[in-house]
Chain A
Amino acid sequence: MNDDKLLEIKDLTVSIKQEKEMMPVVNGIDITIPDHSIIGLVGESGCGKSMTAKSINHILPSFAKITSGSMLWHEPSGQVCDLVTLKEKDIRKRCGTDVAMIFQEPMTSLNPLMCIGDQIKEVLMIHKLEKSQDRAKARVIEMLDAVEIPDPAVRYRAYPHELSGGMRQRAMIAMAMIANPKLLIADEPTTALDVTTQAQILDLIKKMCETHSMSALIITHNMGIVSTLCDYVYVMYLGTIMEEALTDELFRNPMHPYTRGLLSSIPRMGDNPEFLETLPGNIPVNKEKFRGCRFCLRCSDDIKKCFFEEAPLHKVSDDHYVRCHVAAGKED
């Protein structure tokens, strides 16, 4: 882990409007992204992981709003800037150059009426990174080559529908990388892809992070991806970080019952239990505000305290924090 911070998300709360009331879906979370590292954010659907990612670039849907918190962006010059307070105009300047994003379904995030080369070139022209069209085109072709699209000069003129899912995702990565961003946010980048393509795309993301000395925030529900790609992991449940640790530490010694439940419900190849150990019940519908621990309804070792008081983030070691009364008690 690197000590130089790139982005510090502090106490971020995102709420959505529901029947005239603001309901928090991301609940005061803290995430630190250091330079040159790959951070994982895992959780089940609806836990708020995409909302967190979208709030960084201010692309939240219209019914959602950042209600509190700050996102401190550390410039290489040492300046610190809070992304939350930035105006639309200023955040647009940063989209692509500082923070770039790739999404789950490349077909819906690419423009079907433009050939992929021109779409990628747009990034350079809008940010005025290249004045000459020809030079920009040459850079795009170079980038297409870097993301391992075969025959880049020909593919420059291909439309999204002519490409396979994996090729489209490569084009998305090329678009994200063309302006040399410092942070790449990948929201479920390989969920829509086949397993062999997924392996190639994951390799590519890893390689890109190394060659461009870039950080990445990988949002996924797949623990296998976290294990192979990430340095540090945040586990999210119902809008709160339940546990965070170095990847190896988290898999070796999961402390939170939710993390343990997640890990034991994944079927693993070559290891065939009679039945999978799984968490009982479903994710509660986030209607009423929680007073106690969000997880206590599904937890096997809850104590009375869990129902009334939310656990603070307990420090297990320098690289491991857990939000659980029971786990914290065991340590003491």
Chain B
Amino acid sequence: MEKEIILSASHLKKSFRTGKKGLHIGKKGSHTGDNNLVHAVDDVSLEVIKGETLALVGESGCGKSTLARLLMRMINSDEGSIYFEGKEISHLSERKMRPYRKKMQMVFQDPASSLDPRMKIRDIIAEPLIAWNVYDSKAKRDDRILELLNLVDLREDCLDRYPHQFSGGQRQRIGIARAIALNPDLLICDESVSALDVCVQAQILNLLKSLKQQMGLTCLFISHDLAVVSFIADRVVVMKNGRICEMAPASQIYSNPGHEYTKYLLSSVPRIKEYD
């Protein structure tokens, strides 16, 4: 079967300037030459294949979130190019970029701060549908909202409530409903389950996995939790200091890690001992 590449990046670079002073004690990021320049993403090339879940793992400060933002064109790269479904998008103007925005959606880490506290759930989920004028009548739009609620296992009576009336897990479901409202081709989850309790985390992970099966979603899943990644990912990219250390199918990363850093990461995870 021919693999269809939905998103690819080649030789992406992004660096940030930090303050002039600074002791740089224990600071992460590679400092080359210019001391104030931190290379957050340093010559990264990767491909996301249609239908897969690609996980980006690494410690905080390794550049995984910056990379996601670059890929979504939320920030512009210094060098390198990004291709979405074969077309280069790295230098498109904001206006030409707009059709692509619809195809890439994001679920954030903190569901409390990514939902507008003054909007009802109905309006939050409707917003992308209104912005894109997907449905010509309100009735059709309302049907779609109900369908979305159903997909993320929320009850109908949620619609007229505000975000603060929900628990963390429910808020994350609302965030997911909003992200999938436009049937995106690519869903980027930036630490979407990190702030949740274990039981709720398991519920959301199950939801993401079943949505992927139902809708054929392609997912770029950013996480620092290797156990979570092992559950959800098809392929894993391990990042350190803005560079990719290892990129391999998930099964291989866990059974036969190739890079020293991957081995170190895996050995650091506190595991539940095996009992027969």
Interface, chain A (partner B; CB < 8 A): 44-45, 158, 162-164, 166-167, 194-199, 202, 221-225, 227-229, 248, 251-252, 261-263, 265-270, 272-279, 282-283
Contacts and interface: CB of A to CB of B under 8 A. Distances in A.
B146 interface: no
B26 A163 contact: yes
B76 interface: no
Contact of A269 (B25, B170, B227): B227
B59 A267 contact: no
Given A224-B271, A269-B226, A276-B231, A44 B199 contact: yes
A227 B226 contact: no
Contacts of A163: 25-26
A45 B195 CA distance: 11
B202 A278 contact: yes
Contact of A275 (B60, B206, B267): B206
Nearest to B253: A269
19 contacts: A44-B197, A44-B198, A162-B23, A164-B27, A167-B26, A195-B265, A196-B59, A227-B272, A229-B270, A261-B199, A267-B227, A267-B232, A268-B272, A269-B227, A269-B269, A272-B230, A274-B209, A275-B209, A283-B197
A198 B227 CA distance: 15
B231 A227 contact: no
B273 interface: yes
Interface in B209-263: 209-210, 224-228, 230-232, 254-255
Interface in B183-215: 197-203, 205-206, 209-210
B275 interface: yes
B128 interface: no
Contacts of B60: 194
Contacts of A199: 267-270
Q: Which 5 A-B pairs have the closest CB atoms?
A: A265-B202, A224-B270, A267-B231, A164-B26, A278-B202
Given A199-B268, A221-B197, A269-B266, A251 B202 contact: no
**Looking at B199, B206, B264, B271, which has the most chain A CB atoms within 10 Å of its CB?**
B199
Interface size class for chain B? 35 or more
B197 A224 contact: no
B272 A269 contact: no
**Looking at A195, A223, A262, A276, which has the most chain B CB atoms within 10 Å of its CB?**
A195
Contact of A251 (B201, B269, B273): B273
Contacts of B267: 199
Interface string B19-37: 0000101111000000000
Contacts of B199: 44, 261-262, 265, 278-279
B167 interface: yes
Contact of B200 (A224, A275, A282): A282
Contacts of A273: 231
A229 B200 CA distance: 24
A98 B197 CA distance: 32
B169 interface: yes
B202 A267 contact: yes
A45 B202 contact: no
A175 to B, nearest CB: 18
Given A162-B25, A225-B270, 6 more contacts: A195-B59, A268-B227, A268-B272, A269-B226, A275-B209, A278-B206
Nearest to A278: B202
Contact of A202 (B170, B265, B270): B270
Given A163-B25, A251-B275, A268-B230, A196 B201 contact: no
Nearest to A168: B26
B226 A262 contact: no
B269 A224 contact: yes
Nearest to B58: A194
Nearest to A45: B197
A19 to B, nearest CB: 18
B25 A282 contact: no
B275 A228 contact: no
B10 to A, nearest CB: 29
A195 B206 contact: no
Contacts of B169: 282
Contacts of A195: 59, 224-226, 265, 268-269
A269 B210 contact: no
Given A44-B199, A223-B272, A267 B265 contact: no
